Amino acid sequence: MPALILLILLAVLVAFTVLTYNLLVSGRNRIKEAWADIDVQLKRRYNVIPNLLETVKGYAAHEEKVLTGVTEARQKAINAGTLADQGAAENILSGALKSLFAVSENYPDLKANQNFLQLQNELVDTEDKIQAARRFYNGVTRDFNTKVEQFPSNFIARVFHFKAEQFFELENETERKPMAVNFTSAAPASPSLAPVPPVSAATAPAAGPMSPPTPPSST
């Protein structure tokens, strides 16, 4: 009888270990898939920006400081290596884009340009999708981290070297959207431009395949 009880307890322990391990693997894979969705939208954003800059240059080529700030911020975001760096770089890029759209207020012909309007709308749509993908990523990351830290699954996580994953932090949605442009205004006021934070890299090649920053840890 004691041997039977021992076998039952061992079977329960094995079943619990297998079930928990599989749940952790599933959670980690969901995080990878969620990041892939963010990656797609980030690359889409990077690819829209050069076309937007070329359009603005046609009307405001002398706004070199703002144009260069966007180019450099874009390059820094492409080159980001960790989730923390990626979030910081995306926030800098958002600030640079706000300055760019603020500058456009001074050029009525630019604001009426259909290509500019289309690119602006595409950029806003992309940023909305980035925010939606970020919320999903952070949601699955929260669920995974709970399993990693919660008793008794934390014992299985420790044995198989599962570690809590980072959240992808960005400014809130209202702050991140490009400055709204009133295309019906007859006499737009001159905006006060915020300085673009200095970043490295002076040129901005087209965005190529992007490596996810610090991919989820493997067992």
pLDDT at 170: 85
Proportion of the chain above pLDDT 90, given as a percent: 70
Q: Exposed (0-12), middle (13-18) or buried (19+): which is 209, by Cβ within 10 Å?
A: exposed
Domains of the chain: 2-176 (1.20.1440.20)
pLDDT tens, residue by residue, 78-132: 999 899 999 999 999 999 999 999 999 999 999 899 999 999 999 999 999 999 9
pLDDT at 172: 53
**If you average pLDDT over every residue of the chain, what do you get?**
83
What radius of gyration do the chain's Cα atoms show? 23
Mean pLDDT per 10-residue section of the chain, whose length is 219 residues: 85 93 97 97 96 94 93 96 93 94 93 93 95 96 96 94 93 48 37 39 43 49
